[in-house]
């Protein structure tokens, strides 16, 4: 197996007859999926998604792929092909289009509709091309065939890319539900046909590679949802992804069967379900929906609220309900809350906080830990083996997963007979070339995190985040002192203040004397440089806090020359 190495250097020029593949996200992480294919100087981009921040990234709204690798070559992009409409595959498109607005966007009808609704908020009118399974289109040197795959959102597609270097099958996110709610199966005959034709490289979803067997059908959730509806005392609140149209359909069907009205809560939920309803992907029975402004007019035992927040997102409707700061909805001990989703790795603590918050107010909380209220949208090991045996790829590269998922998937490929030398485990930024039927790692390019913080994109650095973490965990101590600009002698202060450092003001007498002595010694030595004096103050206060409190707050000296 080819493994990534931190010492990888810049890649050589792309091989003339080969295909170059660079993942700018989605390898070693769940999210930020973006893969760049290059041949003959032309580029094809598959997906362009976001990653959601974790607790060690305070203040960050979204994390984007680093576009630096393609920034000088935006005119070389033939198209951006989107496999499906989840945020981790389409969420970064608005930021890419800021750099070149006329990049063609290719995807299914629902995928593009969800994206266009998002782009409207960014005031971008895109160039789009709708495709369906069975279509075959050419984008420069890339001959693309689209195949249907089953996932937790309708209209998902896999992509076969034919090039001079060979055939590549990029599965996108998929599973093999044999009884899907919309009747749309993963195109296994198409996979088998491509396998018979000869697949030179398979890139396949790895999220559930550690999970044995097959994913249960979405239909298996129906009876559980019905039971939750029947046993709910009064109001029922269902939290799920704003893109999980199948799950919302199950909720609507159960609401009709149990004589309840439904209200969508949250901007993204209202927007996405509006799009799905308009395009016919969501069947909303006449008279079942109510406006949020009319909730007080509906008896609690006749009402279902469908909202976001199943991942514990701090600003989501469900989190605000749990914290008792939602303007309209107040949780009571007669409410039932159903979290109809699985946990995204890294969100465990946030979700548990929401569950505890809801339980604190007496609500009954139904979640995947105590009921079958969700099934995964990603193929388990049994299904992945099935695809590997069916496609018989010459080379294999696991994608879409953390390290443990990628390695587990690589082991499955080895078990099916893919030679170790033909299994490529890459990470973001690693450059893979397919030449003469052999895939290999040839170098690496920058592919770091680009942070979105409010209106700023890419301005927040790792150093800034480190400062935020220190402020959040250790607090800060500021010292203000005025000095004579010519002699360096203290003419005002020093004054010292602390916030969040666990130090009371009375304790500062000792360190103030130390600062005064250090500044007098510096003035005696002729030191009057503002920066040097700041560093002396920082070291003095930092050592005192460390020795006496075993803490490392941010030290902020403010030296004013008079």
Q: Are 351 and 385 in the same domain? A: no
Cβ atoms < 10 Å from Cβ of 188:
16
pLDDT of residue 3: 47
Q: Is the pLDDT of residue 429 over 80?
A: yes
With cut-offs at 50, 70 and 90, classify the pLDDT of residue 559: confident
Overall domain count for the chain: 3
Percent of the chain with pLDDT over 70: 89
- DSSP assignment of 190-229 equals HHHHHHHH--SEEEEE-TBTTS-S-PPPGGGGHHHHHHHH
- Taking the CA of residue 485 as centre, how many other CA atoms within 13 Å lie in the half-sphere pointing to its CB? 3
Tokens (6 digits) for 152: 């937790």
Average pLDDT in the 317-329 region? 84
Residue 349 buriedness (CB in 10 A; 0-12 / 13-18 / 19+): exposed
pLDDT of residue 276: 92
The CATH number linked to 546 is 3.10.20.580
Of 113-127, 197-211, 455-469, 473-487, the range with the highest mean pLDDT is 197-211
pLDDT of residue 539: 81
pLDDT of residue 141: 96
Q: List the Cα angle 218/224/230 in 5-degree steps.
A: 140
Asked, for residue 12, whether it belongs to a domain, the answer is: no
Q: Are 173 and 62 in the same domain? A: yes
Average pLDDT in the 319-334 region? 86
Asked, for residue 255, whether it belongs to a domain, the answer is: yes
pLDDT in tens, 226-238: 999 999 989 999 9
Q: What share of the chain is helix, strand, coil (3-state, %, to 5)?
A: 35, 25, 40
* Structural domain boundaries enclosing 483: 462-561
pTM of the predicted model as reported, rounded to 2 decimal places: 0.82
Asked, for residue 5, whether it belongs to a domain, the answer is: no
Please tell me which residue, 2 or 322, carries the higher pLDDT value.
322
Tokens (6 digits) for 430: 């690693």
pLDDT of residue 551: 72
Average pLDDT in the 203-229 region? 92
pLDDT in tens, 499-523: 776 676 667 777 777 777 777 777 7
Domain boundary among 366, 387, 418: 366
Q: Are 90 and 226 in the same domain? A: no
Q: Is the pLDDT of residue 194 over 60?
A: yes
pLDDT of residue 1: 45
Asked, for residue 354, whether it belongs to a domain, the answer is: yes
Helices 245-257 and 267-279 cross at an angle (nearest 10°) of: 80
Domain boundary among 341, 366, 391: 366
Q: Is the pLDDT of residue 540 over 90?
A: no
Q: Are 419 and 351 in the same domain? A: no
Of 308-322, 423-437, 546-560, the range with the highest mean pLDDT is 423-437
- Taking the CA of residue 165 as centre, how many other CA atoms within 13 Å lie in the half-sphere pointing to its CB? 28
Cβ atoms < 10 Å from Cβ of 127:
12
**What's the mean pLDDT when you consider all of the chain?**
87
Average pLDDT in the 20-42 region? 94
pLDDT of residue 456: 65
pLDDT in tens, 525-538: 666 677 777 787 77
Q: Region of 550 please: left (phi>0), alpha (psi -120 to 50) or beta.
A: left
pLDDT in tens, 385-425: 999 999 999 999 999 999 999 999 999 999 999 999 999 99
Asked, for residue 39, whether it belongs to a domain, the answer is: yes
The CATH number linked to 111 is 3.60.15.10
Q: Are 147 and 164 in the same domain? A: yes
pLDDT in tens, 77-126: 999 999 999 999 999 999 999 999 999 999 999 999 999 988 998 899 99
Q: Are 249 and 201 in the same domain? A: no
pLDDT of residue 107: 97
Average pLDDT in the 338-367 region? 82
Name the H helices within 398-502: 403-415, 462-474
Asked, for residue 446, whether it belongs to a domain, the answer is: yes
Domain boundary among 410, 430, 457: 457
Please tell me which residue, 337 or 1, carries the higher pLDDT value.
337
Distance CA 182, CA 194 (A): 25
pLDDT of residue 144: 98
Distance CA 356, CA 391 (A): 46
pLDDT in tens, 270-302: 899 999 999 999 999 998 999 988 888 899 999
pLDDT of residue 351: 81
Rg of the chain taking only CA atoms, in angstroms: 28
pLDDT of residue 390: 96
């Amino acid at each position: 197996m080819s493994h990534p190495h931190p010492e990888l250097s810049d890649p050589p020029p792309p091989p003339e007859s080969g295909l170059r593949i660079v993942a700018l996200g989605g390898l070693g992480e769940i999210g930020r999926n973006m893969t760049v294919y290059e041949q003959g100087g032309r580029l094809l981009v598959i997906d362009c998604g976001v990653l959601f921040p974790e607790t060690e990234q305070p203040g960050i709204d979204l994390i984007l792929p680093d576009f630096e690798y393609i920034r000088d070559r935006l005119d070389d992009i033939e198209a951006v092909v989107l496999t499906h409409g989840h945020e981790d595959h389409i969420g970064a498109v608005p930021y890419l289009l800021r750099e070149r607005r006329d990049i063609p966007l290719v995807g299914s009808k629902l995928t593009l509709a969800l994206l266009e609704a998002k782009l409207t908020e960014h005031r971008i009118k895109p160039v789009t091309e709708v495709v369906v399974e069975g279509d075959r289109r050419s984008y420069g040197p890339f001959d693309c065939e689209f195949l249907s795959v089953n996932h937790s959102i309708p209209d998902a597609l896999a992509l076969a890319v034919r090039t001079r270097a060979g055939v590549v099958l990029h599965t996108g996110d998929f599973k093999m539900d044999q009884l899907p709610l919309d009747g749309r199966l993963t195109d296994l005959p198409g996979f088998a046909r491509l396998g018979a034709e000869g697949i030179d490289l398979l890139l396949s979803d790895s999220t559930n590679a550690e999970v044995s067997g097959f994913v249960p059908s979405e239909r298996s959730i129906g009876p559980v949802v019905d039971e939750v509806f029947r046993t709910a005392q009064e109001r029922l609140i269902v939290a799920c992804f704003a893109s999980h149209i199948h799950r919302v359909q199950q909720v609507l069907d159960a609401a009709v069967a149990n004589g309840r009205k439904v209200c969508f809560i949250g901007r993204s939920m209202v927007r996405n379900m509006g799009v799905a309803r308009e395009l016919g992907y969501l069947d909303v029975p006449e008279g079942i929906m109510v406006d949020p402004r009319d909730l007080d007019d509906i008896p609690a035992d006749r009402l279902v609220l469908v909202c976001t927040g199943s991942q514990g997102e701090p600003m989501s409707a469900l989190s605000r309900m749990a914290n008792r700061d939602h303007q309209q909805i107040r949780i009571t001990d007669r409410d039932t809350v159903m979290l109809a989703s699985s946990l995204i790795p890294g969100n465990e603590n946030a979700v548990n906080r929401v569950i505890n918050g809801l339980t604190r107010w007496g609500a009954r909380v139904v979640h995947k830990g105590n009921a079958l209220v969700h099934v995964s949208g990603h193929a388990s090991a049994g299904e992945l083996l099935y695809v590997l045996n069916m496609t018989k790829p010459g080379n294999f590269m696991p994608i879409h997963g953390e390290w443990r998922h990628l390695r587990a998937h690589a082991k499955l490929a080895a078990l099916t007979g893919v030679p170790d030398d033909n299994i490529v485990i890459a990470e973001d930024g690693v450059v893979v070339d397919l030449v003469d039927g052999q895939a290999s790692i040839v170098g690496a390019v920058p592919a770091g995190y680009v942070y979105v913080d409010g209106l700023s994109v890419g301005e927040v650095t790792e150093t800034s985040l480190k400062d935020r973490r220190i402020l959040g965990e250790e607090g800060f101590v500021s010292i203000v002192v005025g000095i004579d600009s010519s002699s360096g002698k203290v003419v005002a202060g020093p004054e010292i203040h602390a916030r969040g450092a666990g130090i009371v003001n009375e304790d500062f007498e000792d360190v103030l004397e130390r600062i005064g002595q250090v500044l007098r010694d510096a003035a005696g030595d002729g030191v009057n440089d503002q920066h040097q004096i700041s560093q002396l103050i920082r070291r003095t206060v930092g050592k005192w806090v460390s020795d006496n409190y075993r803490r490392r707050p941010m030290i902020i000296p403010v030296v004013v020359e008079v």
